[in-house]
Amino acid sequence: MELEPLQDGHGRLIGDLRVSVTDRCNFRCQYCMPAEGLPWIERDSVLTFEEIARLVTLFSSMGVHDLRLTGGEPLVRRGFPRLVEMLASIGGIDDLSVTTNGFLLQRDAEALVRAGVNRFNVSVDSLQQDRFYELTRRDALPQVLAGLELLATFPEAHPIKINAVAIRDFTEEEALPFARFARTTPFEVRFIEFMPLDADQAWTPDQVLSGEEIRAAIHEVYPLEAEPRERSATARIYRFADGHGKIGFINPVSEPFCGDCNRIRLTADGRLRTCLFSLNETDLRGPLRGGADDGELERIIREAVWLKELKHHVGEPGFIQPARSMSAIGG
């Protein structure tokens, strides 16, 4: 049954839901968590597949049509392809995507494509093995690239996007190698500005290498032409002027795109977040397990979404970093 569209208090229709299926991860990326890891959410506090499917069904009935599954690292969740299959069968979900570090793609790529994933975002912060290890604390680049190569053999998995976090004094050396990678492979590379979502809470503005700086450096060698920005898109896309590939820039710090944001997030333990940088969360797991019917859950969701933040305040005086890191929130 279709319900009234889900809308916030600023008139924005909500069409994109990001669901974290686990906070656990097999990497220890410096911009995300400490080398020793973090205390994981207790397993019985994590939403079951059936609970996720029920909530996604409800969100879909309110007009959510894009669903992204994240973590932590979603592929470490046992039986993950079965969850994908459950969610792919829900009416109204037009786009079902996964964000992954790619380490387990060799094992799971075929199962995920067959289950219904139609888009993949794979995090790769360097194409050099030693520098990849420096940032992720895992010597895993060959395995990730092998997984990407396998994934690329499935036409229904494209477009496949490569996400690289842009950090000053590190990513400058990666810009041109990634540009060449985007020009010679079927992958679309996207640079994402470093955001204050690290578990150490050591982020500072001067660590942000802006998307414009990277774009300018690439443009000097490989001229770029801007493509029109689609409404609610996070990335600014450029095509190489000679027609060989595309590259994108996600600039939440230097060029926020909050004005037409249509995204909300559900954490692995069932908390609804209306902004990546929200300081407040709405518990859905408690009512769900307490016997709430869909009408009651709908009311809780609508009240929370109505209060969705107009924008984040990164870089502004008084900005407070969320207590949860990116791995616990879900990308």
Where residue 86 sits, what CATH number does that domain have? 3.20.20.70
Does residue 6 sit within a domain? no
Does residue 42 sit within a domain? yes
Strand partners, 239: 225, 246
Mean pLDDT of 118-131: 97
Does residue 322 sit within a domain? yes
Looking at the chain, the number of H-run helices and the number of E-run strands are 10, 12
Mean pLDDT of 67-81: 97
Q: Which contiguous run of DSSP H or E holds residue 20?
A: strand 16-20
Does residue 8 sit within a domain? no
- Nearest CA to 264 among 17, 97, 86? 17
Query: What does DSSP say about strands 271-273 and 282-283: parallel, antiparallel, or unpaired?
Result: antiparallel
Does residue 11 sit within a domain? no
> How do residues 13-55 score in pLDDT, each as one tens digit?
999 999 999 999 999 998 888 888 888 999 999 999 999 999 9
Tokens in use for 72?
Answer: 């932590």
Peptide bond into 205 cis (omega under 30): no
pLDDT value at residue 36: 84
Strand partners, 14: none
Range(s) of the domain holding residue 174: 16-329
Does residue 215 sit within a domain? yes
CA angle (131, 249, 37) in 5-degree steps: 45
- Nearest CA to 149 among 188, 102, 115? 102
- 223-262 exposure pattern, b = at least 16 Cβ within 10 A, e = fewer: ebeeeeeeebebbbbbebeeeebbbbbbbbbbeebbeebb
Does residue 2 sit within a domain? no
Mean pLDDT of 267-279: 94
pLDDT value at residue 176: 98
Our count of domains for the chain comes to: 1
Does residue 143 sit within a domain? yes
- 199-220 exposure pattern, b = at least 16 Cβ within 10 A, e = fewer: beeebeeebbbbbebbbebbee
Q: Which of the four pLDDT bands, split at 50, 70 and 90, describes residue 306?
A: very high
- Nearest CA to 75 among 96, 50, 100, 48? 100
